[in-house]
Structure 1
Amino acid sequence: MLKTVALLFIFLSTAILPSVAQKGKKAFSAEIGMVSYTYRHSFQKDVAKTLDTIKTLGITDMEFSNLFGKTAQELRQLLDERKMKCSSFGVSYDEMVNKTAEVAKNAKTLGATYVRVAWIPHKAPFTLEVAKKAVDDFNRAGKILKEEHGLTFCYHNHGYEFQPYGKGTFFDYMAEQTDPKYVSFEMDILWVFHPGQDPAQLLNKYGKRFKLMHLKDLRKGVTGDFSGQTPVENDVALGTGQLDLPAILKAAQKAGVEHYYIEDESPSVSQQVPQSIAYLKNLPL
């Protein structure tokens, strides 16, 4: 399996996509990371072998949102043995609010500098009341994480935040009401595009508030909404869907995004992830 994935990656990198170097253009050069959720089914079976698979693809920067039955120390040891790192640790909203100290301990054990939450519990539609509570919780927990543990909290958008509110959206409200010293953001570009927003414009608007990014693409022909949900089969290899990756990544680099993680929720990761990596490595910006 590992040999097949590695050979596919080499083929895609050298044979399918054009060589940017030959054209004298500068390619996307930021380090490419991986979200553990991309390989969630494999991680549930064998953490060590899954890390080996990811390392074979040239990926060493991880964002974990599950310990997959390991302690934080056990997972850190597996990463260290492979010269890999965990830069961001994702937890649930409830854990962030009610187990802040435990979350911080695990994050620091893993070696992460960021703590991320990717979903605000609510019953649709997303409301101002829910947004206000989230703002209060993010400000409080973010302050604890920063001042007591030296960690940066990031909220990962999921689509529902872009429902109209006032002269903008609920996301605008949350960005304005959270303290930049304690609350930053991880942009999931699919979940900006799916509800009808432009990721590049949002990056230009909020700049350095965005520290992290999930790289993914949406199947052509899919129409979005504010649900924060779409069938996993709608995740396609980068560059084959609807998103304008060159414009988004130019804006992300200008904004100072620090970590870029591939997230592919589809059942076709063994084919699509190598294709996405090759696309990024050959993308002229």
Structure 2
Amino acid sequence: MKNTLFALLTLLTIGSAEAQKKVFPQTPGMVSYTYRNSFSKNVAATLDTIKALGITDMEFSNLFGKTAAELRKLLDERGMKCSSFGVGYPDLQNKLAEVGQNARTLGAQFVRVAWVPHKGPFTLDLAKTTVEDFNKFGKQLKDEYGLTFCYHNHGYEFEKYENGTLMDYIIQNTDPKYVSYELDILWTVFPGQDPAALLNKYPNRFKLMHLKDLRKGVVGNLSGGTPVENDVALGTGQINLPAVLKAAQKAGVEHYYIEDESPSIATQVPQSIAYLKGLTD
């Protein structure tokens, strides 16, 4: 009996240790943009494809011809959810009420914007206007709809400013009560920044994350653009994903979404999921 009990305790201890070693114990979500071509043809079938991968948490940045209610029905029927709703900057400026209502209908907790309109390099004046806008958008979305506003970086915000960057300026001057962030790790590494360091510097400001990897050998810049073929399966590119994920867990990131802009998602997405599942410390 003692030997049996000892063996059982040993197995439980080993199992527990194995679970603790997982760097990413969660199941990732998915950004609709990854499957944009498929969604534009058949929303229901595309949701089935994503669900078959074991993914139920979605970030939509397009309704793909559906109303928010129609899309919500398709999600509910599959036991899926939309936790974040991405919109364009003009939508927030001109029809924020519609954005808030659509997000609520979808069941989202977050409203995200991924691009601040600008021509040429991003400037301090633009950053100041951006801060004013973000605080205003965030307050209205929180007060009127109970939603959390997030800004998704895209690379151009890392122009140097004082001892840091304009991204630092934006984070430091937006109200944490109303403005949070989604860290796109490719668009952090591409302009030469360290995503793990950014997470460590601003704990609890980043609520969402785009999981991506950047092809080895690609040298970035501050343009906010690179060919989609430079999105590669997680773990095959140049980003130190274990370090980023460990920092993200400590920093309070709540939702992680796979985003793969490449034309190779049929092979790369399953590869990325397997990489995350197998990542141990």
Shorter-normalised TM range: over 0.9
For 2:21, the aligned partner's letter is K
Structure 1: runs of 5 or more not aligned: 1-19
Note the 1:1-285 alignment, pairs <5 A. Answer: 24=18, 26-27=21-22, 28-285=24-281
Q: What residue identity is the alignment partner of 1:246?
A: P
Distance 1:21 1:242, change over 3 A: farther
Root-mean-square deviation (Å): 1.3
Q: Which is worse superposed, 92-101 or 232-241?
A: 92-101
How far residue 128 of structure 1 moved from its aligned partner, in angstroms, is 1.0
Deviation at 1:23, TM superposition (A): 8.6
* Structure-1 residue corresponding to 2:11: none
Cα pair distance change 1:166/1:43, threshold 3 Å: same
Aligned-partner Cα distance in 2 for 1:131–1:153: 17
SS of 2:275 mapped into structure 1: helix
Partners of 1:214 and 1:261 within 8 A in 2:
yes
Deviation at 1:22, TM superposition (A): 11
Partner SS for 2:132: helix
TM-score by length of 2: 0.93
Corresponding residue pairs, total: 266
Per the normalisation by structure 1, the TM-score is 0.91
Deviation at 1:166, TM superposition (A): 1.3
Aligned equivalents of 1:23 and 1:222: distance in 2?
A: 37
> Are the aligned partners of 1:216 and 1:263 in contact in 2 as well (CA < 8 Å)?
yes
Counterpart CA distance in 2 for 1:200 and 1:234 is 21
SS at match of 1:207: coil
Identity score, percent: 73
Q: Secondary structure at the match of 2:207?
A: strand
Give the whole-Å Cα distance in 1 for the aligned partners of 2:152 and 2:260.
15
Q: Which has the higher contact order (CA 8 A, sep 6+)?
A: 1
* Contact 1:93-1:120 at 8 Å conserved across structures: yes
Query: Contact (CA 8 Å) 1:31, 1:259: kept in 2 or not?
Result: no
Query: SS at 1:185's partner residue?
Result: strand
| Aligned-partner Cα distance in 2 for 1:21–1:247 | 24
- Structure 2 unaligned blocks of 5 or more: 1-13
